[in-house]
Chain A
Amino acid sequence: MTSEYLLRTLLMLILALFSANASNWLYLAKLSSVGSISEEETCEKLKGLIQRQVQICKRNVEVMDAVRRGAQLAIDECQFQFRNRRWNCSTLETLPVFGKVVTQGTREAAFVYAISSASVAFAVTRACSSGELEKCGCDRNVYGVSPEGFQWSGCSDNIAYGVAFSQSFVDVRERSKGLSSSRALMNLHNNEAGRKAILNNMRVECKCHGVSGSCEVKTCWKAMPPFRKVGNVIKEKFDGATEVEQRRIGTTKVLVPKNSQFKPHTDEDLVYLDPSPDFCDHDPKNGVLGTAGRHCNKTSKAIDGCELMCCGRGFHTEEVEVVDRCSCKFHWCCYVKCKQCRKMVEMHTCR
């Protein structure tokens, strides 16, 4: 063993560590024990944040609860969107949250980055609207001419603050590394694409309130789409993601489609660098759980069908009695009275 070899391994290890924890702030979602993040000291104890993020945390302690909700939202939405796929967005109790799949430049990583930056923007905007945050909207982007701000010209939309915060908090990891590596470019692009999924799907709503309610005076505003909608949009982008490679144009490095026949990706599209593994077999080293033991759909020909899901290994079929709720009575909240119905269901599980 030469010292050169040792040095190289060490370097590789450092590099791997660096690129590994880029989305580790999602680990916030797992920190249910911390209670609410209300003091600056808590920021230092939060696992998964890099130093710059800790600084942002200290400066914006009040926002961190929203960020944590955003992380949870991202994980929930990811698991919902991928419930029928081989990789089902399952999280680990350790770092990195999604296993190593996300640390490579795969499609799945692209999705995770996009949904998580969108979820932070979403959660922060929601927190603004509910009055939890004190420095939303008005402090930034006031487009009035007078210093009187709110009284003179009102405030800008909360979404502007949410997006700006997402940009500073989520992107800081990549920015601090400099825009040299292709992974950083890919992550930044996908982060932005995630936020675009909200911004480009804002609903414009209007209210007329002129004389006798006529449209002589009309006020319009933009309403945020429900997060499920955002998830669907990003999932569609995932299905049509572009494989890219880094090229140097002039002095800047940019990502261009690997296959030059494809049309270049837009701001809203997801991009990835590496092909994904097939996720078939259990591979603890890479954090792939494998599809053994997963339920599948016998009749489907799609990815949730037993054929594809089980990677051709075949499946068990067993008859299970399921206790289901039926003929329920609901209130709009918190009250359900149901009968229990039992029925026999065929359950298919991958070998």
Chain B
Amino acid sequence: MAGAIIENMSTKKLVIVGVILLLFQVFSFLVGGLIAPSPTTAIHYLAMKCVDARKVQQSKWFMPWGPNQCNKIRDFDEAMVRMIEANDIVFAVHIPLPNKEMSPWFQFMLVIMQFDIAFKVVNQIEDGAEVTIDVGLAYRDDSVSEWTEMAHSIEKRKLSCNFTTSKTYENEGRYYECDLLPFMELGSVAHKYYLLNIRLPVSERKRVNVGIGEIKDIRLVGIHQNGGFTKVWFAMKTFLTPSILIIMVWYWRRITLMTRPPVLLEKVIFALGISMTFINIPVEWFSVGFNWTWMLLFGDIRQGIFYAMLLSFWIIFCGEHLMDQTERNRFAVYWKQVGPIVFGSFCLFIFDMCERGVQLKNPFYSIWASDVGTELAMAFIIVAGICACLYFLFLCFMVFQVFRNISGKRTSLPAMSKARRLHYEGLIFRFKFLMLVTLACAAMTVIFFIISQVNEGHWHWGDYTLQVNSAFFTGIYGMWNLYVFAIMFLYAPSHKRYGDEQSNGDLGVNSGEDIQLTTTITHLDGPTEIYKMTGKEAQE
């Protein structure tokens, strides 16, 4: 891959390209920060306690409010007085709240569950208590028709609650502090209204729901993506897809125009472009019309492929710029470095399939709910983490090697022939440029990630509100797109004659010896620009 555009570009042009890219970058931040609302919304729901007065109720679904609402009780003291049993109580939650409608633009919905459990000296939560929930989910698309069942399941969740004050009679009535429990995940929000009916069946014989303390309330938190954010996001994807696609076509045409077959690095860059396009293609538009629950999983897979590709690209880019006389240019050479990436991604893929994959069938499933599942999930994540560490060690080592070789070459540069020197200078420049840009992008990602984590979500500037989280998502997404775009543009083979201005003078001096350039990938592929040029020079 000799004679990339970046080497042959004048500094002025490079600056212009840089400024244009920077403008797009700022634009992508502003789109998220000023137009889009915050990425997600969390809505609190307090479950209404319905009484399953057998045979009285017509439908098997219990509505917490509105017409046909269930027979409600305010609290469990009332149930005690009315001799209602625990098995007759149904916790009902209607999503969303009154006068609202869910919409496909929400993309996904996940629900967190939390128990309010009051402390009582004689009725405490036992160690390792587990609650068994019998839960049904139904939907309808208008406010009069019957509910249609969507899913029904009996789930177990571990209660991990602690009581922060001393367990004495004075402190009765205070609540335990319980961890949030994952409850439900829907990969698409195709319907307008959802209804959850939750029961906590008690069976002393089977030790089901015994020793879980005195439950006062069940609270749910529903999280979904904001419609406005989805629209901005889709618009961005729709705009970015053709941009990356066009540059990809242009890039590949450049490569095929050359007389030599493409080298490994060129292929990897092209693959990076493909994986970026794969993320960009706005197939999510379909989720607005169709009920595709697998979209969430599909999105994860697409992101995973891109990350894996990006990481592989960095390794191969470093390897191809090692300048250490070794023959590379084959993918097989890099199995040691790419192996961990593939294996790590595979682990995460399996983990994701176990969680979100199973959720396609049963939205209430959570891998973290069971002991075996938790161990398995942890195992996958730890293995993936080890792979990531391994990868970064390799990467750091390779970067270190490149820098060592660079400084080695630096000292011998002046003694080299012109073409050879230019070749090495080109290599060094290319490497350093990408190194710098990559570091900048990574640093930006990390910084904005931290800001979005620490910050409360939006900043005010007079009348303007900047949605930091949305700006983070659109900005970072735009940034990696620009990164891929820039790489494909700048690292495409140049058709320009090598160094027209610089090498006009004393050409004859150094002719002839550059044929010895065996260090780089280029020599295999027959004469590229340098060779043609130097060859010509030699003839002159």
- Whether A129 lies near B110 (C-beta < 8 A) is no
B174 within 8 A of A: yes
A213 within 8 A of B: yes
A5 within 8 A of B: no
B465 neighbours in A (Cβ, 8 Å): 143
- Whether B180 lies near A207 (C-beta < 8 A) is yes
- Whether B65 lies near A151 (C-beta < 8 A) is no
- Whether B116 lies near A131 (C-beta < 8 A) is no
A116-145 vs B, CB cutoff 8 Å, 1 = contact: the mask equals 000000000010111111111110000111
Shortest C-beta distance, B184 to chain A (Å), equals: 12
- Whether B173 lies near A212 (C-beta < 8 A) is no
Interface residues of A in 330-346 (CB under 8 A from B): 330-335
A146 within 8 A of B: yes
A173-210 vs B, CB cutoff 8 Å, 1 = contact: the mask equals 00000000000000000000000000000000101010
Shortest C-beta distance, B331 to chain A (Å), equals: 26
Query: Which partner residue on chain A sits nearest B303 by CB separation?
Result: A211
B295 within 8 A of A: no
B83-107 vs A, CB cutoff 8 Å, 1 = contact: the mask equals 1111001000010111111010100
Provide the bound-state CA to CA distance between A276 and B412, in Å: 92
A153 in contact with B37 given A129-B46, A331-B202, A332-B200 (CB within 8 Å): yes
A164 within 8 A of B: no
- Whether B96 lies near A211 (C-beta < 8 A) is no
Contact among B76, B97, B300, B303 for A333, CB-based, below 8 A: B76
A332 in contact with B37 given A207-B223, A212-B348, A228-B173 (CB within 8 Å): no
A129 in contact with B300 given A145-B37, A209-B110 (CB within 8 Å): no
- Whether A217 lies near B214 (C-beta < 8 A) is no
Shortest C-beta distance, A292 to chain B (Å), equals: 25
- Whether B40 lies near A217 (C-beta < 8 A) is yes
- Whether B110 lies near A332 (C-beta < 8 A) is no
Contact among B84, B96, B116, B355 for A226, CB-based, below 8 A: B116
B351 within 8 A of A: yes
Shortest C-beta distance, A25 to chain B (Å), equals: 20
B112 neighbours in A (Cβ, 8 Å): 207
A10 within 8 A of B: no
Query: Which partner residue on chain A sits nearest B223 by CB separation?
Result: A219
- Whether B38 lies near A130 (C-beta < 8 A) is no
- Whether B355 lies near A80 (C-beta < 8 A) is no
Shortest C-beta distance, B341 to chain A (Å), equals: 15
A31 within 8 A of B: no
A218 within 8 A of B: yes
- Whether A219 lies near B355 (C-beta < 8 A) is no
- Whether B228 lies near A152 (C-beta < 8 A) is yes
B365-394 vs A, CB cutoff 8 Å, 1 = contact: the mask equals 000000000000000000000000000000
A158 within 8 A of B: yes
- Whether A152 lies near B226 (C-beta < 8 A) is yes
Provide the bound-state CA to CA distance between A74 and B134, in Å: 35
A148 in contact with B227 given A134-B99, A154-B37, A219-B40 (CB within 8 Å): yes
A151 in contact with B41 given A131-B94, A331-B86 (CB within 8 Å): no
A225-256 vs B, CB cutoff 8 Å, 1 = contact: the mask equals 01011000000000000000000000000000
A16 within 8 A of B: no
Provide the bound-state CA to CA distance between A211 and B42, in Å: 19
Contact among B83, B96, B212 for A150, CB-based, below 8 A: B96
B175 neighbours in A (Cβ, 8 Å): 226, 228-229
Interface residues of B in 451-466 (CB under 8 A from A): 453, 457-458, 465
Provide the bound-state CA to CA distance between A129 and B174, in Å: 21
- Whether B352 lies near A212 (C-beta < 8 A) is yes
Query: Which partner residue on chain B sits nearest A215 by CB separation?
Result: B453
Main SS of the interface on chain B?
mixed
- Whether B122 lies near A330 (C-beta < 8 A) is yes
**Most chain A Cβ neighbours within 10 Å, of B43, B200, B299:** B43
A155 within 8 A of B: yes
Chain A residues bordering chain B, tally (CB within 8 A) = 54
B210 within 8 A of A: yes
A205 neighbours in B (Cβ, 8 Å): 180, 221
B319 within 8 A of A: no
B243 within 8 A of A: no
B85 neighbours in A (Cβ, 8 Å): 331, 334-335
- Whether B174 lies near A211 (C-beta < 8 A) is no
B206-223 vs A, CB cutoff 8 Å, 1 = contact: the mask equals 000110111100010101
B76 neighbours in A (Cβ, 8 Å): 333-334
- Whether A154 lies near B45 (C-beta < 8 A) is no
Provide the bound-state CA to CA distance between A333 and B43, in Å: 26
A328 within 8 A of B: yes
Contact among B45, B74, B180, B351 for A129, CB-based, below 8 A: B45
B64 neighbours in A (Cβ, 8 Å): 130-131
- Whether B40 lies near A131 (C-beta < 8 A) is no
Shortest C-beta distance, B205 to chain A (Å), equals: 13
Query: Which partner residue on chain B sits nearest A216 by CB separation?
Result: B449
A332 in contact with B202 given A130-B46, A154-B43 (CB within 8 Å): yes
B509 within 8 A of A: no
A212 in contact with B300 given A219-B40, A226-B116 (CB within 8 Å): yes
B47 neighbours in A (Cβ, 8 Å): 130
**Most chain B Cβ neighbours within 10 Å, of A131, A134, A155, A158:** A131
B475 within 8 A of A: no
A223 within 8 A of B: yes
Provide the bound-state CA to CA distance between A134 and B65, in Å: 10
B45 neighbours in A (Cβ, 8 Å): 129-131
B123 within 8 A of A: yes
- Whether B98 lies near A333 (C-beta < 8 A) is no
A18 within 8 A of B: no
The 10 closest A-B pairs by CB, nearest first: A154-B41, A153-B37, A221-B42, A152-B228, A129-B46, A130-B46, A330-B123, A151-B227, A226-B175, A129-B44
Interface residues of B (CB under 8 A from A): 35, 37-48, 64-65, 74, 76, 79-80, 83-86, 89, 94, 96-101, 103, 105, 110, 112, 114, 116, 122-123, 173-175, 180, 200, 202, 204, 209-210, 212-215, 219, 221, 223-224, 226-228, 299-300, 303-304, 348, 351-352, 355, 449, 453, 457-458, 465, 473
Q: List 11 A-B contacts (CB under 8 A).
A: A69-B74, A126-B46, A138-B99, A143-B458, A150-B101, A151-B103, A154-B43, A212-B300, A220-B457, A334-B89, A335-B86
Interface residues of A (CB under 8 A from B): 69, 80, 126, 128-138, 143-146, 148, 150-155, 157-158, 205, 207, 209, 211-213, 215-221, 223, 226, 228-229, 325-326, 328-335
Known: A153-B38, A155-B43, A332-B200. 16 other contacts (CB 8 A): A131-B97, A134-B98, A137-B97, A205-B221, A207-B223, A209-B223, A217-B473, A221-B44, A221-B221, A226-B116, A229-B175, A330-B122, A330-B214, A332-B215, A333-B200, A334-B79
